[in-house]
């Protein structure tokens, strides 16, 4: 190939050969003969590139961006003959120090490139660090090529998705995992067969962007253990995978390791959604560390009060100024990068309502960032999921600016199902909406706008939801003040562990009730890692700081609870087998396919009569399989009876649509082995006219025609 004429140095500084660089792409790029560095700041007056040998605390050279090396607000320079694998780089920015005006430039501080794609300094999880080192989080130049061997995003239709929310480290950190590299991307890769066996087709990874596990580290007054930032909802660098999550992080190969994980998950038919935290950064408030954004362009990157203080809509000290045009582009560049270069299938936006606030914090009716994401061509195949609230009081579940693209974590589904299961009165009207995909909230959307869940990383696990009435967070060192208070949980008669067999059985039944209702509801179901074996966090509902068996997946407990795991497998398989449960459109409540039955009908202990009264704790419904996929792909009919009352009740059954007979698919009252039937092997009911549903139990019947033939 003909050599480019701009691959020759034009300048020299202390023996280093340079030329004015290319402004794009931002960050460090390996180019013919050298490395190109490009970084922007709207308010800086000067910038210096600081180069270190890999992991060396002191720089070996500092090269100012000379006159002619700036275009607009972008500083760009190419340096020749650098060994890209053996350097870390940072910047010093000069400019005004005037906090009341939002400017906190300090050239004595080395700051990190916001576009860094590889970041050292914390590349082995929880390894001791020198808190006095001048450069903690160290940007590294990389070549981010990868041999994808034909892999692409899977683009599984949203209605077919079954999401498994998980923590990369927690999944295999326990010695019981038996993997070669516990707590890493590679450990997760080794456990892909387990995910396949469970039946999920999407993993939602809690934050995997570089963060500092040592942030706010302290000793627990309760246990004496070191508390870390285990969850990682505190981004240091948006473009870099968490190096400490990679077995190969110490070799700076975390990018390859994560890409290999994604490629292998895709080969197993499992999508990858990243939990992304764009609402704030790890730099905290006025007292927090200067890592990157503060020292580069504080006033641009953060929402500031008129006095120059940090707005705190995130509850963590600062708020990213994400509807500033410059910051908006950073977010867009970032997501495009993860979609295109990592083949990520979607994103879940933490405290997404912040992304809809203007630069002064006021909610926008038409937020440019969200609009840009919704219509972006590179993100067009990505799932976009909003946690549609923030810590500043903006609660937008059902009203998030979605542009027809954003699905939402449906917190009302969680609360309604929890309250119904524990026997609260007056829940039926709400429950009926939730199992239909919440058409009351998403009438102009599809059911898939609703990501349904009963548990997530925030709050109790499913087992704790049925074992504790209140949170037990003393081990967090905040006097039990942290964590949600409204858990809608019920301990089934005893707070915490018990030898009482009745309580034990009831708890397992309640877990089965919850996951069954989740799996027979329209919308997109999401499970929490470990609920399938009854994982407990001992009543702690806010375990962000615990890197210990308290939060790790316990593979030994999985073996001991294979009955529960088998049930989860069964109900997941049932959902996957029945497209009538995975509608693309809301129910029409009438017969639009000429089957003689409406798509959904409501029942109770009497067929065709649902008791909607306040004190009723019973609801049944029937889906006519002829309506599946708008009548184009008929399915079996399904009847679901939910009894949250503490006595068994006999439900009169409606006649099965068509010529079908009712078969028993799921009965949470039955013992393990009898509680869920393999798909296609459901036994027909002897009595087709009624079914006794056990106390606090859920029954699912499937109507099939071929048996009568």
CB closer to other proteins, 184 vs 314: 184
In the block, residue with structure tokens 């396919």: 593
CB closer to other proteins, 105 vs 185: 185
Of the ranges 255-263, 377-385, 386-394, 499-507, which one interacts with other proteins (CB under 8 A)?
255-263
Task: Say if strands 138-139 and 119-120 run parallel, antiparallel, or are unpaired.
Answer: antiparallel
Q: Which two tokens stand for residue 487?
A: 């858990």
Angle at 618 between CA 502 and CA 667, to 5 degrees: 55
Whole-number Å distance between alpha carbons of 636 and 706? 10
Residues 670-689 that bind other proteins (CB under 8 A): none
Whole-number Å distance between alpha carbons of 684 and 660? 10
How many residues comprise the chain? 709
Total residues contacting other proteins (rule CB under 8 A)? 27
CB closer to other proteins, 254 vs 279: 254
**362 with 390: CB under 8 angstroms?**
no
Please select the residue that binds other proteins; options are 38, 109, 136, 184, rule is CB under 8 A: 184
Q: Which two tokens stand for residue 484?
A: 């949600």
From the list 678, 675, 709, 705, the residue with the least C-alpha distance to 693 is 675
Whole-number Å distance between alpha carbons of 40 and 582? 47
Q: How far is the CB of 172 from other proteins (least distance, A)?
A: 13
Whole-number Å distance between alpha carbons of 106 and 566? 59
String marking each residue 136-165 x if it binds other proteins according to CB under 8 A: ------xx-xxx------------------
Q: Which two tokens stand for residue 70?
A: 């700036």
Listing DSSP states for 203-228 in one string gives EEES--EEE-TTTT-EE-TTT-PEE-
Neighbours of 634 (CB within 10 A): 17
Q: Check binding of 531 to other proteins (CB under 8 A).
A: no
Q: Check binding of 642 to other proteins (CB under 8 A).
A: no
3-state secondary structure of 563: helix
Q: Which two tokens stand for residue 296?
A: 């580069």
CB closer to other proteins, 129 vs 181: 181
Query: Which position among 113, 159, 210, 387 bears the catalytic label?
Result: 387
Q: Check binding of 304 to other proteins (CB under 8 A).
A: no
DSSP state of 380: T
Q: Check binding of 550 to other proteins (CB under 8 A).
A: no
String marking each residue 33-72 x if it binds other proteins according to CB under 8 A: ----------------------------------------
**57 with 49: CB under 8 angstroms?**
no
3-state secondary structure of 161: coil
Q: Check binding of 133 to other proteins (CB under 8 A).
A: no
Whole-number Å distance between alpha carbons of 194 and 682? 25
Q: Check binding of 402 to other proteins (CB under 8 A).
A: no
Q: Cα dihedral angle (18, 20, 25, 28), rounded to 10 degrees?
A: 30
Whole-number Å distance between alpha carbons of 416 and 219? 37
Please select the residue that binds other proteins; options are 134, 181, 391, 573, rule is CB under 8 A: 181
Q: Check binding of 253 to other proteins (CB under 8 A).
A: yes
Q: Check binding of 124 to other proteins (CB under 8 A).
A: no
Query: Which position among 212, 275, 283, 350 bears the catalytic label?
Result: 350
Residues 233-252 that bind other proteins (CB under 8 A): 246-248, 251-252
CB closer to other proteins, 140 vs 419: 140
Q: Check binding of 191 to other proteins (CB under 8 A).
A: no
Q: 350 an active-site residue? A: yes
Q: How far is the CB of 189 from other proteins (least distance, A)?
A: 8
Q: How far is the CB of 466 from other proteins (least distance, A)?
A: 38
CB closer to other proteins, 66 vs 143: 143
Whole-number Å distance between alpha carbons of 252 and 502? 53
CB closer to other proteins, 184 vs 668: 184
Please select the residue that binds other proteins; options are 55, 225, 264, 440, rule is CB under 8 A: 264
SS3 assignment for 459-522:
CCCHHHHCCCCCCCCHHHCCCCCCCCCCCCCCCCCCCCCCCCHHHHHHHHHHHHHHHHHHHHCC
Q: How far is the CB of 248 from other proteins (least distance, A)?
A: 5
Please select the residue that binds other proteins; options are 117, 169, 189, 383, rule is CB under 8 A: 189
Of the ranges 125-133, 180-188, 313-321, 546-554, which one interacts with other proteins (CB under 8 A)?
180-188
Q: Check binding of 415 to other proteins (CB under 8 A).
A: no
CB closer to other proteins, 173 vs 564: 173
CB closer to other proteins, 139 vs 142: 142
Q: Check binding of 606 to other proteins (CB under 8 A).
A: no
Please select the residue that binds other proteins; options are 260, 323, 461, 561, rule is CB under 8 A: 260
Q: Check binding of 117 to other proteins (CB under 8 A).
A: no
Active site residues: 350, 387
Q: Which residues bind other proteins (CB under 8 A)?
A: 83-86, 142-143, 145-147, 180-181, 184-186, 189, 246-248, 251-253, 256-257, 259-260, 263-264
């Amino acid at each position: 190939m003909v050599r480019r004429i701009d691959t020759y140095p034009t300048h020299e500084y202390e023996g280093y050969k340079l030329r004015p660089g290319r402004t794009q792409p931002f960050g460090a790029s390996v180019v013919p003969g050298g490395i190109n560095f490009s970084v922007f700041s709207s308010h800086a007056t000067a910038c210096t590139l600081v180069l270190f040998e890999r992991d060396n605390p002191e720089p070996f050279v500092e090269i100012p961006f000379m006159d002619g090396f700036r275009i607009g607000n972008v500083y760009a320079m190419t340096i020749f003959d650098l060994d890209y694998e053996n350097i870390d780089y940072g910047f010093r920015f000069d400019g005004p120090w005037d906090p009341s005006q939002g400017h906190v430039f300090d050239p004595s501080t080395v700051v990190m490139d916001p576009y860094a794609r590889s970041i050292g300094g914390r590349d082995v999880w929880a390894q001791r660090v020198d808190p006095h080192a001048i450069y903690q989080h160290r940007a590294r130049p990389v070549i981010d090529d990868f041999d994808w061997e034909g892999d692409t995003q899977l683009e599984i239709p949203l209605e077919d998705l079954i999401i498994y929310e998980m923590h990369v480290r927690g999944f295999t950190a326990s010695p019981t995992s038996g993997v070669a590299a516990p707590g890493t991307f590679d450990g997760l890769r080794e456990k892909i067969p387990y995910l396949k066996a469970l039946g999920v087709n999407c993993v939602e990874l809690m934050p995997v962007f570089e963060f500092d596990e040592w942030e706010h580290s302290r000793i627990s007054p309760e246990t004496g253990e070191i508390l870390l930032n285990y969850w990682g909802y505190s981004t240091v660098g948006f473009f870099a995978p968490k190096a400490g999550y990679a077995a190969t992080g110490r070799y700076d190969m975390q990018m390859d390791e994560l890409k290999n994980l994604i490629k292998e998950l895709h080969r197993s038919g499992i999508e990858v959604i990243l939990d992304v935290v764009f609402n704030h950064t790890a730099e905290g408030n006025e007292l927090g560390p200067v890592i990157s954004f503060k020292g580069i362009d504080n006033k641009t990157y953060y929402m500031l009060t008129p006095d120059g203080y940090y707005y705190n809509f995130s509850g963590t000290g600062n708020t990213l100024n994400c509807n500033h045009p410059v910051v908006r582009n950073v977010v867009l560049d970032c997501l495009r990068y993860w979609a295109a270069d990592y083949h990520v299938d979607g994103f879940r936006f933490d405290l997404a309502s912040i992304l809809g606030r203007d630069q002064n914090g006021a909610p926008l009716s038409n937020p440019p960032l969200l609009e840009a994401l919704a219509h972006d061509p590179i993100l067009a195949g990505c799932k976009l999921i909003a946690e549609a609230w923030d810590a500043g009081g903006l609660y937008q579940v059902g009203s998030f600016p979605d542009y027809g693209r954003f699905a939402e974590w449906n917190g009302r589904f969680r609360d309604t199902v929890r309250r119904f299961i524990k026997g609260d009165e007056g829940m039926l009207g709400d429950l009926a909406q939730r199992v239909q995909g919440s058409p009351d909230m998403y009438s102009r959307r599809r059911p898939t706008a609703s990501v349904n869940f009963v548990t997530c990383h925030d709050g109790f696990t499913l087992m704790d939801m049925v074992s504790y009435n209140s949170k037990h967070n003393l081990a967090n060192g905040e006097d039990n003040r942290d964590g949600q208070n409204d858990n809608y949980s019920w301990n089934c008669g005893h707070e915490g562990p018990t030898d009482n067999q009745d309580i034990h059985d009831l708890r397992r039944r309640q877990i089965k009730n919850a996951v069954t209702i989740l799996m027979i509801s329209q919308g997109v179901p999401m499970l929490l890692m470990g609920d399938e074996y009854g994982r407990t966090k001992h009543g702690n509902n806010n375990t962000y700081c615990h890197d210990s068996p308290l939060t790790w997946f316990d593979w030994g407990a999985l073996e001991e609870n294979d009955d529960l795991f088998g049930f989860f497998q069964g109900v997941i398989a049932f959902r996957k087998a029945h497209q009538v449960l995975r509608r693309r459109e809301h129910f029409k409540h009438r017969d639009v396919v000429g089957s003689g039955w409406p798509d959904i009908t409501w029942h109770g202990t009497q067929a065709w009569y649902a008791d909607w009264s306040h004190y009723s704790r019973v609801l049944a419904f029937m889906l006519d399989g002829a309506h599946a996929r708008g009548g184009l792909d008929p399915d079996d009919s399904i009847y679901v009876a939910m009894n949250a009352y503490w006595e068994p009740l006999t439900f009169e059954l409606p006649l099965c649509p068509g010529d079908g007979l009712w078969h028993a698919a799921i009965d949470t009252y039955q013992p393990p082995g009898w509680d869920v039937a393999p798909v296609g092997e459901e036994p027909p009911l002897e009595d087709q006219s009624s079914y006794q549903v056990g106390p606090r139990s859920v029954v699912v019947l499937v109507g099939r025609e071929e048996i009568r033939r």
